[in-house]
Amino acid sequence: QVQLVESGGGLVQAGGSLRLSCAASGRTFSDYAMGWFRQAPGKEREFVGSVTWNDFTLYADTVKRRFTFSRDKAKNAVYLQLSALKPEDTAVYYCAFREGKVVIRTSSTVDSWGQGTQVTVSS
């Protein structure tokens, strides 16, 4: 019942920036959390960060101070500003949605996933 459409990935040189977008649709939303994971080839899906609609935000230590969430509540959209990108940030980035008031922390708690958007950081 919830569809996530994400965009904004691309190829960028180390030190550059990208802005990822994710918009949720399919129902009227009240309490929910949205966030981002990433997955590199041969690696497990990794938590990046999440935010609840009561404004609690959680970032992984690996991206803290470089990645920043913002959101447009009227559009049920969340954005991830990627700054000071490193080659090790290269991965497919997946938007995530969870119904309820609890922040997303692990992939097992995610209700819906976006299709993924590729971020490639060159040296």
Task: State whether residue 74 is helix, strand or coil.
Answer: helix
Whether residue 27 contacts residue 40, with contact meaning beta carbons closer than 8 Å, is answered with no
Strands of 26-76, DSSP E: 32-39, 46-52, 57-59, 67-72
Closest CA to 78 of 46, 34, 115: 34
Count the neighbouring beta carbons within 10 Å of the beta carbon of residue 47: 20
Query: Average pLDDT for residues 35-60, to the nearest whole number?
Result: 93
Query: Average pLDDT for residues 13-36, to the nearest whole number?
Result: 90
Query: Average pLDDT for residues 78-84, to the nearest whole number?
Result: 95
DSSP symbol at 73? G
Instruction: Provide the token pair at 19.
Output: 């802005």
Question: In which band, very low, low, confident or very high, does the pLDDT at 64 lie, cut at 50, 70 and 90?
Answer: confident
**pLDDT at residue 52 is higher than 80:** yes
Query: Average pLDDT for residues 56-74, to the nearest whole number?
Result: 90
Question: In which band, very low, low, confident or very high, does the pLDDT at 13 lie, cut at 50, 70 and 90?
Answer: very high
Torsion of CA 16, 103, 101, 76, to 10 degrees: 20
